[in-house]
Chains A and B, each alone.
Chain A
Amino acid sequence: DAMVIQNPRYQVTQFGKPVTLSCSQTLNHNVMYWYQQKSSQAPKLLFHYYDKDFNNEADTPDNFQSRRPNTSFCFLDIRSPGLGDAAMYLCATSRISGTGGGEQFFGPGTRLTVL
C-alpha cells in the first residue's frame, strides 16, 4: 500500500513552461518536505511544511513555490523551469518525534526533464 504518492512519475517540460508536481500521503503526518536530487548528489531540501507553516530554505530559488491545501496534499510549482532544474524531485513526510527529526518516508519521486 503506497503511503506517499507522487504524480506524475515522469514529467517532460519545455524551457520556461510552468510545471506542477504533486504529492499525497496516507500517513497523516504533519510534516511534508520537497527535495531536489541530481545524479550522484545528496537530496537537497527545498522547503517543508510543519502543518500549515511554510519553511523555505535560504538557497531555494524563487522559481520554486509550494502549496499545501490540506494535510494530505502538497504541490511543487516550478514557474519557469531551466535546464538546471532537471532532476528527481522527492516528496517526504514525517511525524516530528522527541528523538529529533524522526524517520522520513519518501515518495517514489518525479523525474523532471527540461527540453
Chain B
Amino acid sequence: RKEVEQDPGPFNVPEGATVAFNCTYSNSASQSFFWYRQDCRKEPKLLMSVYSSGNEDGRFTAQLNRASQYISLLIRDSKLSDSATYLCVVFSWGKLQFGAGTQVVVTP
C-alpha cells in the first residue's frame, strides 16, 4: 500500500466552479501535511500547509481529518490558472511522502 494515495483525475472544472478532492495517508503518526502544486513539466511548489483546525488561503481551503486519515483541498471560483497537478504531501518517518497528484483542468 502506498504511503499517500490520491485520485489521479483529471477533474475537469468549468471556470468559476468549485472543485474538491481528497488524499489518504497510511501512517497515523504523520506529523505535518501540505498541498503542493506542480505545473506541467515544472517543479513542485508549496501551495499551503494543512492545519488540524483547517485553514483557508484565499480561494483555497484545506482540511485535515486525523480519525479517517485524509486531507482535502477545495478550490472555489476556479480560474484557468488553477489548472495543475496538486500533490498531497505528508511528513512521516522523518521525511516528506508525496502522493502522485490529482490533475485539475479548468475549462473556459
Interface residue ranges, A against B (CB under 8 Å): 40-43, 45, 48, 88, 90, 99-101, 103-104, 106-109, 111
A101 adjacent to B91 (CB under 8 Å):
yes
Most buried by B among A100, A101, A106, A108: A101
Most buried by B among A48, A99, A103: A103
Interface residue ranges, B against A (CB under 8 Å): 4, 8, 31-32, 34, 41-46, 49, 87, 91, 95-96, 98-101
- Provide the bound-state CA to CA distance between A7 and B99, in Å: 26
Interface of chain A, main secondary structure: loop
**Which residue of chain B is the closest to A100 with respect to CB atoms?**
B31
A106 adjacent to B8 (CB under 8 Å):
no
A90 adjacent to B43 (CB under 8 Å):
yes
Known: A100-B31, A104-B96. A42 touches B101 (CB 8 A): yes
- With a cutoff of 8 Å between Cβ atoms, the chain B residues found around residue A108 in the complex are 42-43
- Provide the bound-state CA to CA distance between A111 and B95, in Å: 24
B43 adjacent to A106 (CB under 8 Å):
yes
**Which residue of chain B is the closest to A6 with respect to CB atoms?**
B43
- Provide the bound-state CA to CA distance between A106 and B39, in Å: 13
- With a cutoff of 8 Å between Cβ atoms, the chain A residues found around residue B46 in the complex are 103-104
B98 adjacent to A40 (CB under 8 Å):
no
B95 adjacent to A101 (CB under 8 Å):
yes
For residue B90, give the distance in angstroms from its CB to the closest CB of chain A: 9
- Provide the bound-state CA to CA distance between A103 and B49, in Å: 9
For residue B18, give the distance in angstroms from its CB to the closest CB of chain A: 25
Choice from A40, A45, A100, A111 contacting B91 with Cβ under 8 Å:
A100
For residue B62, give the distance in angstroms from its CB to the closest CB of chain A: 15
- With a cutoff of 8 Å between Cβ atoms, the chain B residues found around residue A90 in the complex are 43-44
For residue B58, give the distance in angstroms from its CB to the closest CB of chain A: 18
A101 adjacent to B32 (CB under 8 Å):
yes
A42 adjacent to B100 (CB under 8 Å):
yes
**Which residue of chain A is the closest to B43 with respect to CB atoms?**
A106
B95 adjacent to A45 (CB under 8 Å):
yes
B8 adjacent to A40 (CB under 8 Å):
yes
A48 adjacent to B4 (CB under 8 Å):
no
